[in-house]
Amino acid sequence: MNILKNAALVATAVVATAGLSAPAAAQATRTWVSGVGDDANPCSRTAPCKTFAGAISKTAVNGEINCLDPGGFGSVTITKSLAIVCDGVGGGILASLTNGVVVNAGDKDKVLLSGIDIHGGGNGKNGVRVLKAESVVIRNSVIQAFSTPSSRGISVEGPAAVTVSGSAIVNNTTGLSGQVVSAGNNLLAGNGSDGQFASTKAPQ
Amino acid sequence: MTLPQANGRSIAAARLVALALGVLLISAAPAAAATPNPILYMTGTEYYSTGGKSFVRYQYDVLNKDQYPAAMFAPAPSLPPCGSNANSSRAWVDVFDSRGKRLYGFCALESPNNLGSIWFSEEEGTVPPSYVYIEINDRQTNTKYKSNLADTTM
């Protein structure tokens, strides 16, 4: 009888615990941001987020954040394999007094930034600051107006293969710093010091 | 010398003209402009550190701040104090996220011009609410003026 009673108690406890623990929110492979979104949303196409930083926690590893419409989506730190793709839309980052994009991912993580306008507002720190990743590809983007004495358009400060194509890195204090490979069709001009691509490879 | 005699009809006409002029004068006087709701917009961000932690300050301006009377932000010692400040202003300003959670408040703005320096802050790395609004609470008239939702990114 006691055994039955104990079993019933255990079963009740198990059911109660299961009921109380909320399921962790699943991360989507593709998420969306919009100029009129809200980071309280799930970042789906019909309920988009407002910022890249808000979307990134709802995006799965190897997933992709897309822009639904033009907007300023805020600076972001990327710590996993991820793509942010805003081609043809106008995904903006205004990085006043801060970095536009910081990549500080794992040594096997791959990051793609595409179709993004990263603007330093004249006092931003760095457009794209790479601390660690296996690879970072920047394509069809504009990185401009990072103009404090120590600002850089692209600053590679750790181990990562950084490749840039079809992008303009203009009007920064320093255009490039560290090992950056050009895959063609880049504009590197108007910077206090342009810097130079470490090498050039065929367009991707 | 004799003055012209005013008959009853001309007196009545003069009274009518005077009445009409009075009505005209009253209607021509400018109506006291109603205090509008604030139009809030983001002006930028600022980074600062305090207590060993880094914060982001989200800064805002009120576009129509010049339409608020200075008296609304004058010290009001007869109203309840703001903490230990017995000279807090007549109107207090609070910042809320879009779901109504209060983020910060100002109880001694001193002047409508200072509506151009509204802000709230979050620890760096924290994703801020996507939208915020402010509420100006005129404690003397018990009237609240609520703004539009404003962005937290630019």
Which residues in chain A are contacts of B46 at CB distance < 8 A?
97
Q: What is the pLDDT of residues A33-59, one digit of tens each?
A: 999 999 999 999 999 999 999 999 999
Reported confidence tier of residue A20, pLDDT bands at 50, 70, 90: very low
Choose the closest CB to B130 out of A39, A57, A121: A39
All domains in chain B, ordered by first residue:
40-151 (2.60.40)
From A203's Cα to the closest Cα of chain B, the distance in A is 32
Asked, for residue A28, whether it belongs to a domain, the answer is no
Specify the pLDDT at position A7.
Answer: 55
Mean pLDDT of the region B56-65: 97
What's the mean pLDDT when you consider all of chain A?
A: 90
Give the residue on B whose Cα is nearest the Cα of A92: B154
Q: How many domains does chain A have?
A: 1
Q: Which domain range does residue A76 map to?
A: 62-200
Asked if residue A104 lies in contact with residue A131, where contact means CB atoms within 8 angstroms, the answer is yes
Rounded Cα distance between B16 and A185, Å, is 84
For A27-40, letters b (16+ CB in 10 Å) and e give: ebeebbbbbebbbb
Asked, for residue A13, whether it belongs to a domain, the answer is no
Specify the pLDDT at position A21.
Answer: 47
Which residues in chain A are contacts of B99 at CB distance < 8 A?
40
Contact A47/B at CB under 8 A: no
> In the predicted model, is pLDDT for residue B79 greater than 80?
yes
Asked, for residue A25, whether it belongs to a domain, the answer is no
- Residue A51: both structure tokens together: 């910022």
Asked, for residue A84, whether it belongs to a domain, the answer is yes
Specify the pLDDT at position A182.
Answer: 96
Mean pLDDT of the region B66-90: 96
Cα Dmax for chain B: 98
Asked, for residue A21, whether it belongs to a domain, the answer is no
Asked, for residue A10, whether it belongs to a domain, the answer is no
**Chain A contact probe: residue of B122, B127, B152 with most A CBs at under 10 A:** B127
Asked, for residue A99, whether it belongs to a domain, the answer is yes
Mean pLDDT of the region A91-103: 96
Mean pLDDT of the region A171-180: 98
Q: How many CB pairs under 8 A join A and B?
A: 41
Which residues in chain B are contacts of A53 at CB distance < 8 A?
127
Which of B64, B117, B118, B109 is closest to B91 using CA atoms?
A: B109
Mean pLDDT of the region A182-203: 91
Contact B8/A at CB under 8 A: no
Q: Are strands B91-97 and B102-106 parallel, antiparallel or unpaired?
A: antiparallel
> In the predicted model, is pLDDT for residue B22 greater than 60?
no
**Chain B contact probe: residue of A34, A51, A58 with most B CBs at under 10 A:** A51
Q: What is the pLDDT of residues A109-152, one digit of tens each?
A: 999 999 999 999 999 999 999 999 999 999 999 999 999 999 99
- The interface predicted TM-score of the complex, written ipTM, equals 0.77
Rounded Cα distance between A141 and A163, Å, is 12
Mean pLDDT of the region A178-204: 90
Give the residue on B whose Cα is nearest the Cα of A102: B125
Q: Are strands A116-119 and A91-94 parallel, antiparallel or unpaired?
A: parallel
Sheet holding B40-50, edge to edge: B40-50, B53-62, B118-123
Give the residue on B whose Cα is nearest the Cα of A41: B130
Asked, for residue A118, whether it belongs to a domain, the answer is yes
From B126's Cα to the closest Cα of chain A, the distance in A is 9
